[in-house]
């Protein structure tokens, strides 16, 4: 059974750096073909893909946000960490992590965590 759960601060100040952790179970990120991605959703708005890390440590970022994002994995602890620098109120959103399976899509999602950016 695959599960994922996001954790991190619920409130950050403008200009601060956000660090979110995705803790997962039911699969290993050392398995060929697998990956973990981050997606966010501002209140009432659409989904936006942020970053993706593969089993072989290859990393991909949204072109519009790549200068602010870093994704890393800790395979032994079954965690993926996303950092986003220079947070702005426009970054207020629910942040999801998801399991990218061999089919290439997100078959399993975490429950999401709401991050508010405000002074």
Partner 1 sequence: DIQVTQSPSALSASVGDRVTITCRASQSISSWLAWYQQKPGKAPKLLIYKASSLAGGVPSTFSGSGSGTEFTLTISSLQPEDFATYYCQQYHTLWTFGQGTKVEIK
For position 27 contacting partner 1 by CB under 8 A, the verdict is no
**In angstroms, rounded to a whole number, what is the distance separating the alpha carbons of residues 49 and 74?**
21
Q: Which CA distances in Å does 10 have to 55, 56, 68, 93, 98?
A: 29, 31, 19, 10, 19
Report, in Å, the least distance between residue 63 CB and partner 1: 5
Q: What is the maximum alpha-carbon separation in the chain?
A: 43
- State which of residues 71, 110, 115, 117 lies at the interface with partner 1 (CB under 8 A): 110
For position 43 contacting partner 1 by CB under 8 A, the verdict is no
Q: Segment contacting partner 1 (CB under 8 A): 8-16, 43-51, 74-82, 84-92? A: 43-51
């Amino acid at each position: 059974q695959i599960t994922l759960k996001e954790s991190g601060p619920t409130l950050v100040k403008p200009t601060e750096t956000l660090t979110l952790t995705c803790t997962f179970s039911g699969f290993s990120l050392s398995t060929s073909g697998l990956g973990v991605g981050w997606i966010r959703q501002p209140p009432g708005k659409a989904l936006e893909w942020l970053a993706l890390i593969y089993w072989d440590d290859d990393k991909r970022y949204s072109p519009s946000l790549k200068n602010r994002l870093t994704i890393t994995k800790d395979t032994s602890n079954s965690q993926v960490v996303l950092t986003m620098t220079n947070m702005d109120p426009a970054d207020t959103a629910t942040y999801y992590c998801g399991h990218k399976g061999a089919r290439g899509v997100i078959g399993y999602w975490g429950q999401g965590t709401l991050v508010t950016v405000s002074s």
